[in-house]
Structure 1
Amino acid sequence: METAFNKPKFSWQEYFSDKKKGGHRYSTEEFLFKEAREKLFHLRGGRSLLDFGCGAGELLIYYVPNYERIVGADFSSSMLFEAEKKMWQQNYKNVDLILADDETIWEKLSLPFDRITATAVVQYLTPQQIDAFIRHASEYLNEDGKIVFFDIIDPRLYSLWKMGWFSQNFKLWKTLPKTGFGLLRQTSAILKNRPRDIIGDAYSPYFIEQIAIDNGFKMEYVKSMYYEYRYHAILSRN
């Protein structure tokens, strides 16, 4: 009989094991092109790129023409399979895809990068994992390189977004039932050893900045153009 003491621990790897889409707001080519263009602007060049958490390659496919060497990594084999199909269809030869998580990726790399990026990944990492990721990434970063975390959930705005604050039809009285239902879902998730919100954790910019500073980086904070409750953290060496 399953009890609170022998419940299997929730695993994000298992959750994404059969997923085939990266969870972008829209899956249209027009939207993904715009989203990729915004991210390329913040990456600001470089000749080599590591895209950790590349997922199904929805953004990676737009990054590839802008770099001489690219590595895409993800811990979901189903996602990587979709990414591989996209690269094959475009006949891209300058990209390697690697099955790895935030711990195993580093042992599979042999060369440093000008840019290391991760989109909507931080929400699935613990504070200790974020710190370790930045520390390891710094060892594979060229002298003038940057680490860029895209689309981090902002806890100051996410609750408002869930309430519908940014909607044109926002009505405060309509949000009360949602709030009550949300509390019930969170309580149920805790009891079932599931994440309280399947979208993952939220970290304030100040929290990420402090981890960056502790690892010898300075951080630039930029709001996302296409997700009201997310922001980008651009890390460069002090």
Structure 2
Amino acid sequence: MVSVETVFKRSKFSWEDYFSDKKKGGHRFSTEEFLAKEAKEKLFHLNGGKTLLDFGCGAGELLIYYAPYYEKVVGVDFSRSMLLEAKKKVLKRKYENVDLLLADDRTVWEKLDTKFDQITAAGVVQYLTPEQVDSFIRNASAYLSEGGKISFFDIIDPKLYSLWKIGWFSQDFIPRDILLRVCTCCVKRVSAFLENRPADIIGNSYNPNQIESIARKNGFQMEYAKSVYYEYRYHAILTKIP
């Protein structure tokens, strides 16, 4: 039996450590066909500009599809192993308009020397606390060109994710399995607590109203859009309030 003393002396979990040796992002499929379609959806929302900051670019799965549409692209991630994979992809395609930086949401700003028309982060918000999201928007605002946008892609919606977890969106969904799935989720949460890791390794979820509230606090208005390729995710497109 695990004692109370042992539980509260557990070593601290960090996403930096978790992603330190990862080489792939959390995309539903890793095929070029799927990633190209996913990138196309996001490019639709980005809608132009000449310069792009892709924060949390990971292994560059989407970045390499963004690059042809911009004069300059800067990819940022705190995982060396992910950036190495991104570098391989960039070199393979011989892109000369892409720079890659090793940094996190606190240190990235001191490494930038230009403003951007688009600042994007796909599948990143779930690994940030509300305070970090607030700080990111505030700092990003100073690096946006006039008329620029901040696009948070694929934020996990807590209500829709709960439905997804019990199989609601599955073609072979069976209502009588709900109780079993809920019990399984509870067991996993208790196990995660005892092992000092997140209840769900996919990260945190945010109600759209939470993101909109933080955005407005920093002088932005939010446009909401559901993700095409992930049933339980949504996009938050932020523009400066006139």
Query: TM-score, normalising length from structure 2?
Result: 0.96
Gaps of 5+ in 2: none
Residue matched to 1:153: 156
Q: Distance in 2 between matches of 1:177 and 1:156?
A: 19
CA distance in 1 between partners of 2:7 and 2:110 (Å): 36
2:17 aligned partner, one-letter code: E
SS at match of 1:97: strand
Equivalent position of 1:223 in the other structure:
226
In structure 2, what is the equivalent of residue 62 of structure 1?
65
C-alpha distance in 2 between matches for 1:123 and 1:23: 12
C-alpha deviation, 1:209, in angstroms: 0.2
Could you tell me which residue of structure 2 aligns to residue 136 of structure 1? 139
Give the alignment's Cα RMSD to 1 decimal.
1.1
Q: 1:72 aligns with which of 70, 75, 78?
A: 75
1:50 corresponds to which of 53, 67, 70: 53
Q: Which runs of 4+ in 1 moved over 3 A?
A: none
1:124 corresponding residue in structure 2: 127
Letter in 2 for 1:25: R
How far is the alpha carbon of 1:110 from its aligned partner?
Answer: 0.6
2:7 equivalent to 1:4 = yes
* One-letter identity of the residue aligned with 1:144: G
Number of aligned positions between the proteins = 238
Cα distance in 1 for partners of 2:195, 2:214 equals 31
Deviation per residue, 1:70-119 (Å, 9 max, x gap): 10000110000000000000000000000001101011101010000000
AA at the equivalent of 2:107? T
Q: What secondary structure is seen at the aligned counterpart in 2 of 1:82?
A: helix
Is 1:212 the counterpart of 2:215? The answer is: yes
- Paired AA for residue 8 in structure 1: S
1:169-222 deviation per Cα after TM superposition (whole angstroms, max 9, x unaligned): 100112321210110110121222210110000001111000000000000000
Which residue in 1 is equivalent to 2:106?
A: 103
> Distance in 2 between the 1:88 and 1:154 partners?
35
Match of 1:36 among 26, 30, 39: 39
- Gaps of at least 5 residues in structure 1 are none
Secondary structure of the residue that 1:3 maps to in structure 2?
Answer: helix
- Displacement after TM superposition at 1:4 (Å): 3.1
1:18 corresponds in structure 2 to: 21
Q: CA deviation at 1:235?
A: 0.1
Could you tell me the percent identity over the aligned residues? Answer: 66
Q: How much does 1:236 deviate?
A: 0.2
Distance 1:26 1:133 in 2: 28
Give distance in 2, aligned partners of 1:68 and 1:175. Answer: 50
Q: Distance in 1 between matches of 2:7 and 2:157?
A: 31
Amino acid at match of 2:115: P
The residue that corresponds to 1:184 in the other structure is 187
Return the letter of the residue paired with 1:177.
L
TM-score (normalizing by structure 1)? 0.98
Q: What amino acid is aligned across from residue 12 of structure 2 in structure 1?
A: K
Counterparts of 2:48 and 2:104, CA distance in 1:
25
SS at match of 1:167: coil
Alpha-carbon offset, residue 3 of structure 1: 2.4
Give the counterpart letter for 2:42 in structure 1.
K
Aligned residue type for 2:176? W
Paired amino acid for 2:55: F
